[in-house]
């Protein structure tokens, strides 16, 4: 049996929910590969649960699309109605007996990620175990498995690393950097390595992710603070935080989140971006790229580069690099919505 994917609200392969931690329950049901892909692409009513379950699908029988299984992880024992709801989303499991078990009080996010192979993206070597060897000539980054998204394994994160590396290779210079939706802090660390004299700011909507980023900063020798070469952290939805706004405008903004938040946050992200500044976007599927690009074109940005990455299911995950036209000044608040929280119907939310 091999792990294929885990999902969050809009079905993109982003991260495990924090529900996978202490006092978790696991519901297991058989399914087909088609059903597995459908439920992880659209959680439907499951996304409305508080907190929503974390879903993991895998092959029960190798190379047999009719023999897959779904594991749904819940914080607390799921009600009978919840189990029936999950089962109703898997037609082939209509007559199956649900398997429900309480898990030991362990961090199942970390356990699920242990043993992942290191990732090389551009000049960066990202590992989740300190004992893994780092080949010569690469920049080592240690991101232990944990509660936040951004260990480098997913195509969206590695795509951003590759795009940052490409920016450095073509001679881009940034003095002020913001990483919105930082997760583990990985992309902010990489950016500070490439531009070590920059003022850097990183935020996440989840305070736990900010704590994780602070811990990872210590592991990677990244100083926290507000000076050059230091990283300032805060918990915020979108750019709705005094720290983020006070340190604007930024010459480089990175946002690796989801298509929905990217669309809704377009005015706010454009507002904190300096004239001529660079914006790197990821967390979207190929079929969502046009809608995301249009949202930023309407704010005065133009697409200048794109990196494609495919996952094991043949889906395309583009990383977009856009530049802000000088005609659009950052101090034009009539187009900005600093209270945007990342909601866009049909594209998911964070």
pLDDT in tens, 18-44: 333 447 889 999 999 889 888 877 788
Closest CA to 324 of 286, 284, 291, 280: 280
Q: Which of 29-43, 58-72, 140-154, 239-253 has the lowest mean pLDDT?
A: 140-154
* Residue 204 marked as a ligand binder: yes
* Residue 157 marked as a ligand binder: yes
* Residue 182 marked as a ligand binder: no
Residues 6+ apart with CB under 8 A from 198: 174, 175, 176, 177, 191, 192, 228, 229, 252
Cα of first residue to Cα of last residue in the chain, in angstroms, is 30
Residue 127 CA to residue 134 CA, distance in Å, equals 9
Average pLDDT score over the chain: 83
* Residue 10 marked as a ligand binder: no
pLDDT tens for residues 67-87? 999 999 888 899 999 999 999
Domains recognised in the chain with CATH numbers: 3-110 (3.30.70), 114-349 (3.40.50.150)
Contact indicator for 27, 72 with CB cutoff of 8 Å: yes
The residue written with tokens 């990483």 in the block is 179
pLDDT tens for residues 316-343? 899 999 999 886 444 443 344 555 655 4
pLDDT tens for residues 192-236? 999 999 999 999 998 988 999 999 999 999 999 999 999 999 999
User: Could you give the percent of the chain with pLDDT greater than 90?
Assistant: 56
């Amino acid at each position: 049996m091999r792990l294929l994917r885990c999902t969050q609200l809009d079905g993109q392969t982003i991260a495990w929910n924090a529900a996978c931690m202490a006092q978790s329950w696991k519901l297991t049901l058989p399914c087909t590969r088609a059903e597995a892909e459908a439920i992880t692409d659209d959680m439907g009513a499951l996304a409305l649960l508080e907190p929503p379950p974390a879903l993991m699908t895998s092959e029960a029988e190798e190379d047999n699309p009719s023999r897959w299984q779904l594991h749904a992880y819940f914080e607390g024992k799921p009600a009978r109605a919840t189990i029936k709801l999950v089962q109703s989303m898997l037609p082939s499991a209509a007559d199956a007996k649900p398997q429900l078990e309480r898990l030991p009080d362990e961090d199942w996010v970390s356990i699920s990620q242990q043993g992942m192979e290191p990732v090389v993206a551009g000049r960066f070597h990202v590992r989740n175990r300190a004992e893994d060897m780092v080949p010569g000539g690469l920049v080592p980054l240690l991101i232990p498995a944990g509660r936040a998204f951004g260990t480098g394994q997913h195509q969206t994160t590695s795509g951003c690393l590759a795009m940052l590396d490409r920016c450095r290779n073509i001679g881009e210079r940034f003095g002020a950097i913001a990483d919105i939706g930082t997760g583990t802090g990985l992309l902010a660390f990489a950016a500070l390595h490439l531009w070590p004299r920059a003022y850097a700011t990183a935020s996440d909507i989840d305070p736990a992710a900010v704590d994780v980023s602070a811990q990872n900063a210590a592991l990677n020798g990244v100083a926290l603070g507000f000076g050059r070469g230091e990283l300032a952290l805060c918990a915020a939805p979108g750019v709705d935080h005094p720290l983020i706004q006070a340190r604007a405008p930024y010459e480089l903004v990175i946002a690796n989140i989801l298509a929905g938040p990217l669309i809704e946050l377009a005015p706010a992200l454009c507002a904190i971006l300096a004239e001529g500044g660079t914006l790197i976007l990821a967390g979207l599927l190929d079929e969502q790229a046009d809608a995301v690009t249009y949202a930023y074109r309407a704010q005065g940005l133009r697409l200048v580069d794109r990196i494609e990455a495919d996952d094991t299911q043949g889906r395309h995950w583009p990383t977009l690099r856009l530049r802000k036209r000088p005609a659009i000044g950052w101090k034009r608040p009539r187009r900005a919505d600093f209270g945007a929280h990342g909601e866009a119907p049909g594209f998911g939310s964070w």
